Amino acid sequence: MHERSRVAVLISGRGSNMAALIYASRADDCPYEIALVTGDNPEAPGFELAEAEGVPVRRMPAPAKDKSQYFNALQKVLEDHSIDLVALAGFMRILPGEFVARWEGRMVNIHPSLLPRHKGLKTHHACLAAGESVTGATVHLVTPDLDSGEILGQVEVAVLPNDTPETLADRVLIAEHQLYPRVVSQYLSRTRDFDWITNKVGELALALPKTHYQTSHGSPGWKVGTQSSSKFFAIMWNRHHGEETVGVLVKCSGQDEMAQLIEADPDIYFRPAYYGPSDWVGITLDRPRVDWDHVADRLAQSWELVAPRRLLEAGGR
Ligand code: GRF
């Protein structure tokens, strides 16, 4: 069983989408757990439900003024709970740009329309006023522009001839409850996907000077040097030899360093089976909380260990 991603749900009211996320997380194969429910309105009914379900709850009343203090406190709570992903679910506060930037790619929202149609509030009124026959719900990444981030998933809902904004909202809500957990699960699962991980490593590896891609015995790898004379400094590791791990192999200074790394961080470093006493150490990457800056540093060290001397003398990287 993989380590689950830790999701925080932010609510201001009823919390029915929060409930849907909680119940979906009970499935054995769900890639996330709800590690925290928080929000600005201490009276929000959703808190009571979350508490009854045994989910950690933090009521955080928002002061009328000093928005930044509130969001600094919220940031601290999210960090204290080691949150990987923030899921907004009817959270009615406008988020400061700095907070949004901190959670770039790690904060999602659900909106009751088929975005980009009907951003903002009163979406069902707007849909009926426009005489549309189909509406729906959207899960998207949160960016500084309201309801405008990358769309991760949508579901369509038919508009009935006698729909009022209320009847339509009720039906869209049923669709929301199915969409949100499904999209959150898919989004979080990408961090276990070999191709997604390989792309991330490739971006970092190719940012180093004089590097290129090449496979090594079928595994994606990256070399430094010219096409005619070059050396591998990173090779992907994809559940080889019946092991579970997806990761990357990088060069270290030798057996001593490898033993130290593995002893200090056995969840992160591994000794690649069947490599014998080599200087290739594995970094596990199919985990929710990969520190990609650290991976970039290790790739750079590996690059330095194998880069041709003239590259290093020329100032290297
Ligand atoms: C939902 O309609 C959601 O799409 C919107 O706010 C509403 C929250 O409802 N962002 P609930 O609190 O999840 O029941």
What is the arithmetic mean of pLDDT over 158-186?
98
Residue 65: pLDDT band with limits 50, 70, 90 = confident
State how far the Cα of 82 lies from the Cα of 140, in Å rounded to an integer.
22
Peptide bond into 116 cis (omega under 30): yes
Q: Are 169 and 112 in contact (CB under 8 A)?
A: yes
Q: How much distance in Å is there from the Cα of 177 to the middle of ligand 1?
A: 9
What is the arithmetic mean of pLDDT over 181-202?
95
Q: Is the pLDDT of residue 243 over 70?
A: no
Q: How much distance in Å is there from the Cα of 172 to the middle of ligand 1?
A: 10
Residue 315: pLDDT band with limits 50, 70, 90 = low
Q: Is the pLDDT of residue 168 over 60?
A: yes
Residue nearest to atom 2 of ligand 1 (CA): 112
Q: Per-residue pLDDT tens for 48-59?
A: 999 999 999 999
What is the arithmetic mean of pLDDT over 82-105?
95
Q: Per-residue pLDDT tens for 14-44?
A: 999 999 999 999 999 999 999 999 999 999 9
Q: Does any ligand 1 atom lie closer than 6 A to the CB of residue 13?
A: yes
Q: What is the pLDDT of residue 316?
A: 54
Average pLDDT, the chain: 93
**pTM higher than the cut 0.85:** no
Q: How much distance in Å is there from the Cα of 89 to the middle of ligand 1?
A: 6
Length of the chain equals: 317
State how far the Cα of 72 lies from the Cα of 78, in Å rounded to an integer.
10
Q: Residue 205: how many CA atoms within 13 Å on its side-chain side?
A: 28
Q: Does any ligand 1 atom lie closer than 6 A to the CB of residue 89?
A: yes
b/e code 60-80 from CB counts within 10 Å (16+ = b) = eebeeeeeeebbeebeeebee
Site to substitute for ligand 1 among 9, 16, 40, most atoms within 8 A of C-beta: 16
Residue 1: pLDDT band with limits 50, 70, 90 = low
Site to substitute for ligand 1 among 22, 176, 178, most atoms within 8 A of C-beta: 176
Residue nearest to atom 5 of ligand 1 (CA): 90
